[in-house]
Amino acid sequence: MGLQKAGISIIAGIDSDPICEFPFTSNNGARFIKADVREITGHDLSTLYPSDAIRLLAGCAPCRPFSPFRRGTDNSQDEEWGLLAEFSRLTKELKPHLLTMENVPGAASKPVFHKFVRDLRRLGYYVVSKSVHCPRFGVPQHRRRLVLLASRVGHVTVPAGPLTSENFRTVRDTIASMPILAAGETDPRDRLHRARSVNDTNLRRLKSSQPGGTWEDWPEELRAECHRKATGSSYRSVYSRMVWDEPAPTITTQAYNFGTGRFGHPEQDRAITPREAALLQTFPRSFRFVRPREPVFLSQVGRLIGNAVPPRLAFYVGKELIRAAHAFKERSRK
């Protein structure tokens, strides 16, 4: 969506997860191909582009193997680890004019990423990558992402984002106007504005939580056993409320769950809803994630929202890719 809003024509999207099909096709008006990327060839991709197109290949290997939450774990045998190599293979076979990739910043320190960059440069690509802070792009969350751009049609630059901290969008700017809900309730006009139910203990924890605080705000009897152990006493990034006048924490695939991060609503005694999480990711309110009359499964919708590249970030990346394409066309005319 972000690339499309920047002015790039989206031809197709490929994913092995069938739940991606409806949101991709209904919101972007492009073809969805359900396939394992390891079974796709550069020739398969080449048949999708118009003959005279400047070809862009945009991809994102799953970030799970590179996540900081798996620090200290040997992920090199994870089947998702090798998907970056598949991206490299497809680039070699297709030779697109432009390429972009997004991942967690930790990926930049991994040997598989270094090899990916070396392979691109051997193919003649100019390659740049940088960790960017999403609030600088108008994304109201403290999300950091690694953005890579590669070009064989000229110079490209990872955009820095136009905003400074004085202009960052906040939680209040983004979700303050959403209808009030209690835990377990659903907005009758929007099925994605649905607050997950909580048990009595977590409801009491919610009521004792302060915006930006920790479980240390709770009375002693509400603290979990893990909080009393030395190994868990310093882990304060869960069971907390968001702060109205700051960007949100990073939206994850379980942002609808109070116990998995700082995902408590700033005022209401509930976690944020999938719709609020999507807004904090900069999806428009009208974005459709689930087919009409199909049930909303929080885990599925949460995965779609949390794994997404924020459209506002992708918009600025798209503008830089378009600038490079236009410069190439101008040089070609001379």
| 134 in catalytic set | no
Question: Is residue 24 a contact partner of residue 30, using CB atoms and an 8 Å limit?
Answer: yes
Tell me 186's DSSP state: E
Q: Which residues pair with 101 in a beta bridge?
A: 59, 148
Structure tokens that stand for 32 in this block: 């969805």
Contact status, residue 227 vs residue 233, Cβ threshold 8 Å: yes
| Residue 148, beta-bridge partner list | 101, 129
Say if CB 37 and CB 16 are below 8 A apart: yes
- What's the count of helices (H) and strands (E) in the chain, helices before strands? 10, 8
- C-alpha–C-alpha distance, residues 99 and 108, integer Å: 17
At 250, is the secondary structure helix, strand, or coil? Answer: coil
Give me 207's structure tokens: 């009521």
Q: Spot the catalytic one: 60, 63, 134, 226.
A: 63
CA 197 and chain centroid, separation: 25
User: Which residues are known catalytic residues?
Assistant: 63
